[in-house]
Amino acid sequence: MKLQERESYYKEALPVLLAVDCIIFGFDREQLKLLLFKRKIEPFKNEWSVIGSFMKPDESAEAAAVRVLGEYTGLEEIFMEQLGCYSQVDRDPGARVVSQAFFALIRLDEKKEQTVATHEAKWFDLEEVPGLILDHNLMIGDALEKLKRKARYRPIGFELLPKKFTLPQLQKLYEAIYQQSFDSRNFRKKILSLQVLKKLDEKDKSTSRKGAFLYTFNKRKYQSLVERGGQFLM
C-alpha cells in the first residue's frame, strides 16, 4: 500500500510532527565532549541545540538519525543507540512535536574536528555546555546516565578510544564518563583481571620518554565475559 493511500484512512487525526535528536559524545583522550550546533530555524533560531531534524514520511526513526548525523556532521559509521521518546505536550512552542532521541559515540581526531567545523557544529566540554533549547538539557542528562549504566556492563567506552590505547587513556575515559577519579592501581588491576585486553609490543611515547604499552580490545574474550555474567567496571 502506498503512503498516500495509508494517509487517506486518518483524515480526521490531528497532525503531530516527529523529530529525531542526536546526543553525540566524543573523547579527545582527555575530555568527554558533546557536539552541538546553532539551530537554523525559528523558534530559537541561532541558539545552541543538539543535532536534530524532522523525520521524513518515508523513513524510520533510525534512518532519520543516520541521515541527520551525516548531514550535520559529515560523519559516518557511528555507534548509535536509541535513548528515549520525548513527548511532553508543550515541549516545543513551534508545534506539537514528539522527538525520538538517540545517543552516539565517536572517536575524536583532527580530521573529525575539521569535518564538524565545516558543518557549523562545535564540540563542548561537558562542564562548559551552554543553556540549550527545549528539553535538550534533559536529553543530555538522560544520555549520560544511560552511558554510565552501559559502560558498567559493556565496554561501550571503546567506541570512544582509538583502536590502540594505553591504560592511562582508558582510565581517563572512564573517569570522564563517571565524572570521578579512580585509583590507578585498582583500576589497572580490575581491567587486566578481566582478560579482555591484548597487550601489544608497541608503546605510546607521546607523554614520556619511557612510554606506556598500547593495548587493543579482544571482542572474543569480552563475549565470554558477558556470557559468564561478568561486570566490566568496578
What tens digit of pLDDT does each residue of 213-222 get? Answer: 999 888 787 7
Preceding peptide of 43 cis, ω within 30°: yes
CATH number of the domain to which 171 belongs? 1.10.10.10
What tens digit of pLDDT does each residue of 67-104 get? Answer: 988 887 777 778 899 999 999 999 999 999 999 999 99
- Spatial distance between the Cα atoms of 233 and 230, rounded to a whole number of angstroms: 9
- pLDDT number for residue 70: 84
Residues with Cβ within 8 Å of residue 174, at least 6 apart in sequence: 151, 157, 182, 187, 233
What tens digit of pLDDT does each residue of 147-200 get? Answer: 988 887 776 767 788 888 999 988 998 898 888 899 999 999 988 888 888 899
Quick one: 36 and 125 in the same domain? yes
Q: For the whole model, what pTM was predicted?
A: 0.84
Quick one: 88 and 199 in the same domain? no
**Which of these is catalytic: 7, 71, 120, 145?**
120
- Spatial distance between the Cα atoms of 212 and 115, rounded to a whole number of angstroms: 30
pLDDT at residue 5 tops 70:
no
The structural domain count of the chain equals 2
Among 106, 134, 153, give the residue marking a domain's end. 153
- 120 counts as catalytic: yes
- Which residue from 166, 151, 175 is spatially nearest to 213, judged by alpha carbons? 166
Quick one: 61 and 114 in the same domain? yes
Task: Give residue 86's domain range.
Answer: 3-153
CATH number of the domain to which 78 belongs? 3.90.79.10
The x, y and z cell numbers of residue 19, run together, are 523529530
Quick one: 33 and 88 in the same domain? yes
Mean of pLDDT over the chain: 85
Quick one: 111 and 165 in the same domain? no
